[in-house]
A and B are shown apart, each in its own frame.
Chain A
């Protein structure tokens, strides 16, 4: 159901929902093959720090935890009610949640608006709004935060701690991102699947993310935006970058989005382009681009200008990057046009056959000292707005050493508020370097195009942030 603006009571409740001290799992089961059992078990296995309260009218104990017949029987209010029962039971459960003074309800159950039960979904939503009980879902996969070891839902992964607040309407894509988090060290601050977003909408999560101390970037996967006015107002209001991927662009995608999460996309895609532009939201086209952009924006400050310097030991990587910068509308400038002084300083870190253009090619023989010196000069030059480093592993390249040098440089130049992005294209040593760099809050990528997309997102957010002032 639509909202005109993000509701303060909802935003406040989301703090409890995403950092709960207690979770009641309605539909908790004694049977290991059932979802309600797995939800409780996952919470325990991930060492959730709060209280887990199974609710099941036929069980007195589940997984060693005391079970209650209904929410009303729990002797104290709970922060979060997680509902994993069939749709026809949800109305009564929500009434119990209100009676039990729960702070927030998450309904994982499907079979609502997406299958024609819009009236039931709306009735439950209206009831929730009347009683100021925020309802997340229905038809969602779950939510959580690695900072509290909180993983609630049908989710086999807990992401590594990081800076991206992931708000996804798709459970599958959320799961993909969570899997990526572990595999590729894509850190998150929190994650939530919105599903049908009957009540709590994007706008409220955006405002929550702005208040969440762990979140550096807000990532949104949307199939439909039911309350564009609220979305725009909240996006304009917040002080953190937002990257959105809005699907359903194709004709058949429009139908699929409705069947999936009851998302209605009557508006042409240009509507969303315009909405995002007005709201200061960066729109990603592909899933990979979405991940790459959010990673960088979560870790790095925006680029305040277009003076981006690229430092590489491989001409090929540099050329790929140059072409892609230009292709997406942010061509690199030559180094002499950015900073003639830097051009001269940086020569000290390259052999005579190196190239002090932009990209700056410090050559395949570059050692750790050359890299560290060039990085440091580029970052500290007053005319530069960001640095893109690249490693191509030649026989003499100390890939781990260069990665460590990058970490030292970024640490030393933190106060300058400039972004630093790395490309590590190569074999396992490069993959290891990427993980190492990401673990140290440096966005690093295996291809030039990914890194350029990330740097351009940092630049675009620099423009957005400036326009918000």
Chain B
């Protein structure tokens, strides 16, 4: 367990890649490439076709690495996609396109009725302006951890938060702007200090998980790991297949794709593992530092914690009630050890814990298969929108009226 804090310089020195690591919302924007730009086309082709043609993925690489045939790799991918165990997703670096990334934590009152909770859960699930979130349906000290991208913070407050936070069942809502997006769904994101876009799922956890259930085996997880831990981004896909399907130039697609991921860092494509499909539960640790904690000391704590592969998600907040949230699978980890790992840092004042059994959306892609909307993707944009002018706060009254079940 690492307890010694490295000086900032040594942390910075460990940065991977030829370009400076961007850091949070104050960084220099590396460039703007729209999600539908030509440079993004490789991902878009693969995303559109992967359910029908799994050969968009690099099956030869999988065959070589996992000692299976390409055909078997394709069959397995098709099966995992069909059973909603995995999804090809893309984490866009929304800051590059002019958005802020905002999460919020919701705590319900102790006497909130199951009906009120169900109504709120449904509202979060179906609200396209909420691009991701975790309901803590398995209990805990808070009840939801949701997020969205917005160009204008007032739009989030008026257009989303104000529309539910005055319900009688709500104890508190804490807005947590993302200072650094470090890890999401096992994959290191844009603001990590090392191992950008690396996928972490420790071998011992995978082994344990494979023993716990029969739906997915070690080869399946090997496929996920191989596709995520590509050396160069285009290796995730078979660009010759993408070229055949689209009529576009394979080399150019590969080059553009690598450029957007490695140089511009405006997207991280990844294979998302849907933990809910195997009945896993994810425990979230919402961490507050002592108010006296200096920013750089707090950042060192976060970076040290981020060096551990057990965490599935790591978010660093700025200008918020809380400082970090981390999550790990309840069923696959020694939670006492992880709890102690966090507490071992003297900067940590408190930890709130809650357990989630599923995720609302993987970014904008819906994960609620029951609704018939599995993988429906809605990227909202509040460009030119002023939601503070929408309806004179009548929505606040409306939100109270909706909450009649408590």
Question: From residue B298, how far is it (CB to closest CB) to chain A in Å?
Answer: 40
Q: Do A88 and B378 touch across chains, with their CB atoms under 8 A apart?
A: no
Q: Do B44 and A88 touch across chains, with their CB atoms under 8 A apart?
A: yes
Q: Which of A58, A61, A86 contacts B44, CB < 8 Å?
A: A86
Q: Do A89 and B49 touch across chains, with their CB atoms under 8 A apart?
A: yes
Question: From residue A245, how far is it (CB to closest CB) to chain B in Å?
Answer: 33
Per-position 1/0 for B10-52, Cβ under 8 A of A: 0000000000000000000000000010000100110011011
Q: Do A91 and B372 touch across chains, with their CB atoms under 8 A apart?
A: no
A177, B44: Cα distance in complex, Å? 35
Q: Which of A34, A61, A89 contacts B246, CB < 8 Å?
A: A89
Nearest A-chain residue to B48, judged by Cβ: A89
Q: Do B48 and A85 touch across chains, with their CB atoms under 8 A apart?
A: yes
B247 at the interface (CB under 8 A from A): yes
Label chain A's interface by main secondary structure. loop
Contacts of A59 in B (CB 8 A): 372, 376
Contacts of B247 in A (CB 8 A): 88, 91, 120, 123-124
Label chain B's interface by main secondary structure. loop
- Total A-B residue contacts, Cβ distance less than 8 Å: 52
Q: Do A88 and B248 touch across chains, with their CB atoms under 8 A apart?
A: yes
Q: Do B246 and A92 touch across chains, with their CB atoms under 8 A apart?
A: yes
Query: With A57-B51, A89-B48 in contact, do A30 and B372 touch (Cβ < 8 Å)?
Result: yes
Q: Do A58 and B45 touch across chains, with their CB atoms under 8 A apart?
A: no
Question: From residue B251, how far is it (CB to closest CB) to chain A in Å?
Answer: 15
A234 at the interface (CB under 8 A from B): no
B119 at the interface (CB under 8 A from A): no
B374 at the interface (CB under 8 A from A): yes
A60, B373: Cα distance in complex, Å? 10
Q: Do B41 and A70 touch across chains, with their CB atoms under 8 A apart?
A: no
Q: Do A58 and B246 touch across chains, with their CB atoms under 8 A apart?
A: no
B398 at the interface (CB under 8 A from A): no
Q: Do A31 and B376 touch across chains, with their CB atoms under 8 A apart?
A: yes
Q: Which of A69, A86, A91, A123 contacts B51, CB < 8 Å?
A: A69
Query: With A69-B51, A86-B48, A89-B246 in contact, do A58 and B41 touch (Cβ < 8 Å)?
Result: no
A91, B247: Cα distance in complex, Å? 6
Nearest B-chain residue to A33, judged by Cβ: B378
A interface residue count range (under 10 / 10 to 19 / 20 to 34 / 35 or more): 20 to 34
B245 at the interface (CB under 8 A from A): yes
Per-position 1/0 for A28-65, Cβ under 8 A of B: 01110110000000000000000000000111110000
Contacts of B373 in A (CB 8 A): 30-31
Contacts of A30 in B (CB 8 A): 372-373, 376
Q: Do A57 and B44 touch across chains, with their CB atoms under 8 A apart?
A: no
Contacts of B41 in A (CB 8 A): 88
Question: From residue A373, how far is it (CB to closest CB) to chain B in Å?
Answer: 62
Per-position 1/0 for B377-396, Cβ under 8 A of A: 01000000000000000000
A243, B311: Cα distance in complex, Å? 69
A88, B248: Cα distance in complex, Å? 7
Q: Do A61 and B49 touch across chains, with their CB atoms under 8 A apart?
A: no
Question: From residue B318, how far is it (CB to closest CB) to chain A in Å?
Answer: 32
Contacts of A70 in B (CB 8 A): 52
Question: From residue B146, how far is it (CB to closest CB) to chain A in Å?
Answer: 20
Q: Which of B52, B245, B372, B375 contacts A61, CB < 8 Å?
A: B372
Question: From residue A343, how far is it (CB to closest CB) to chain B in Å?
Answer: 66
A124, B376: Cα distance in complex, Å? 28
- A33, A58, A120, A123: most-surrounded residue (chain B CB, <10 A): A58
Question: From residue B188, how far is it (CB to closest CB) to chain A in Å?
Answer: 28
Q: Do B128 and A33 touch across chains, with their CB atoms under 8 A apart?
A: yes
Q: Do B372 and A60 touch across chains, with their CB atoms under 8 A apart?
A: yes
Contacts of A92 in B (CB 8 A): 49, 245-246
In B232-265, which residues have CB < 8 Å from any A CB?
A: 245-248
A209, B149: Cα distance in complex, Å? 50
A30, B376: Cα distance in complex, Å? 7
Q: Do A120 and B248 touch across chains, with their CB atoms under 8 A apart?
A: yes
In A367-398, which residues have CB < 8 Å from any B CB?
A: none
Nearest A-chain residue to B248, judged by Cβ: A88
10 pairs, A vs B, C-beta closer than 8 Å: A58-B51, A58-B375, A69-B52, A85-B48, A86-B36, A86-B48, A88-B45, A88-B246, A120-B247, A123-B247
A-contacting residues of B (Cβ < 8 Å)?
A: 36, 41, 44-45, 48-49, 51-52, 128, 245-248, 372-376, 378
Known: A91-B247, A92-B49. 9 other contacts (CB 8 A): A30-B373, A57-B52, A58-B375, A60-B372, A61-B372, A88-B41, A88-B44, A89-B49, A120-B247
